[in-house]
Amino acid sequence: MTGNLLEIRDLHKSYGDVEVLKGVDCTMVQGDVISIIGSSGSGKTTMLRCINMLEEFQGGSIRIDGQEIGYETVGGQRRRKSEKEIARQRALTGMAFQQFNLFPHMSAARNVMLGLMKVKKLSKEEARSIAEKWLDRVGLRARADHFPGQLSGGQQQRVAIARAIAMNPKLMLFDEVTSALDPELVNEVLQVIKTLAQEGMSMLLVTHEMRFAYEVSNRVIFMNQGRIGEEGNPREMFHKPRTERLSEFLKTSSFN
C-alpha cells in the first residue's frame, strides 16, 4: 500500500492493431486536481475511460485506493473481473461526459436518484433528499423536476455532475465536459467544478480549456501520441514547457 488514491502503471491499450496508450504511468493522491491536455487522438480520453473500465485495456494496471481495477491475475493468467465486481468498482469513480448523457425520460432529480437507489440501495426518500442537496449545490434545486429536454446544455451538464458526485465517488473523472457547450454556458459548468476542487474533491479532467486547467489544477499532464509527454505544475508547464511538442501545442491552443 502506497497511500496513493490512483496508481496507473504501464497502461497499454490498443484498438486492434492501433496502440493508443503506449505505457502510461500516473499517480495521484487524495485532493489532487489533475488536468490532462493534449491534441485529439493523443489518448487522454481513452486513459480516463480505462480508469472506470468503459474501455478494456490489454496491459498494465490501474489501482484506486489500492484496489486493482478491472482485472485480476489468477494462476499467472490475467482475466477480467466479474461484471458485478466491475460495476462495484466503477462506483469508486464518478464520470461526467462531453455529451452529458442524462437519461432523457427521467427528471433531473430522478437522474441523480437512480444510482443512489439501484446501486447504493437507498430508499426513495433518502435518495431524493441527497439528490436535492446536490442539485442545490450545482444551483439547480428549482429545476429538480425538469426533464433534460427542458434544460440548457449547461444545466444538463451540471445535473450530470450532480448525478456523478451524489454517488460519493473517491475520484471524479471529467471528460471534456465543456466541449459540447455554447461558449456562454461554459463558465457555469467550470464554476461548479472549481468549487468542488476547492472543497478537496480529487479529480482528473480531460480538457481543452487551458486557462481553466491552469487555474484549477495542481498538476497538468500533457499527453502526446499515447504517452505522457510532459507533466508538472501548471505554472511551469504553461510558462516554461520543456518539450518542443508541448510548446507547439500551447501555441495552437487557447492559452495565451
Partner 1 sequence: MGYTLNFAAVWRSFDLLLEGLALSLALAFAAILIGAVIGLFTAFCLISKHGLARRPAGIYVTIIRNTPILVLVLFTYFALPQLGFRLGKIESFVFTLALYSGAYLAEVFRAGLLSIPAGLREAGLAIGLTEMQIRTSIIAPLMFRNVLPSLSSTIISLFKDTSLAAAIAVPELTFEARKINVETFRVIETWIVASCLYVVTCSILAALMRAVERRLSLPR
Name the site residues for partner 1 (rule: CB under 8 A): 52-54, 83-84, 87-88, 90-91, 93-95, 97, 99, 101-105, 114-115, 118-119, 146-147, 149-150, 160, 163-164, 167
CB of 80 to partner 1, least distance (A): 14
DSSP code, position 224: E
CB of 120 to partner 1, least distance (A): 8
Q: Pick between residue 13 and residue 163 the one whose CB is nearest to partner 1.
A: 163
Strands (E), the chain: 6-15, 18-28, 33-37, 59-64, 67-68, 71-74, 77-80, 93-96, 171-175, 203-206, 219-224, 227-232
Q: Pick between residue 38 and residue 115 the one whose CB is nearest to partner 1.
A: 115
Residues 6+ apart with CB under 8 A from 135: 108, 109, 112, 141, 143, 144, 159, 162
One-character DSSP codes across 119-136: TS---HHHHHHHHHHHHH
Strand 33-37 and strand 59-64: pairing?
unpaired
CB of 176 to partner 1, least distance (A): 13
For residue 125, CA distances in Å to 116, 138, 194 come to 11, 20, 29
- Phi, psi of 63, rounded to the nearest 5 degrees: -125, 135
Q: Pick between residue 26 and residue 95 the one whose CB is nearest to partner 1.
A: 95
CB of 199 to partner 1, least distance (A): 21
Q: Pick between residue 202 and residue 224 the one whose CB is nearest to partner 1.
A: 202
DSSP code, position 81: P
- Amino acid identity of 210? M
CB of 163 to partner 1, least distance (A): 7
Q: Pick between residue 150 and residue 243 the one whose CB is nearest to partner 1.
A: 150
CB of 104 to partner 1, least distance (A): 6
Q: Pick between residue 34 and residue 164 the one whose CB is nearest to partner 1.
A: 164
Residues 6+ apart with CB under 8 A from 5: 28, 29, 30, 32, 64, 65, 170, 171, 202
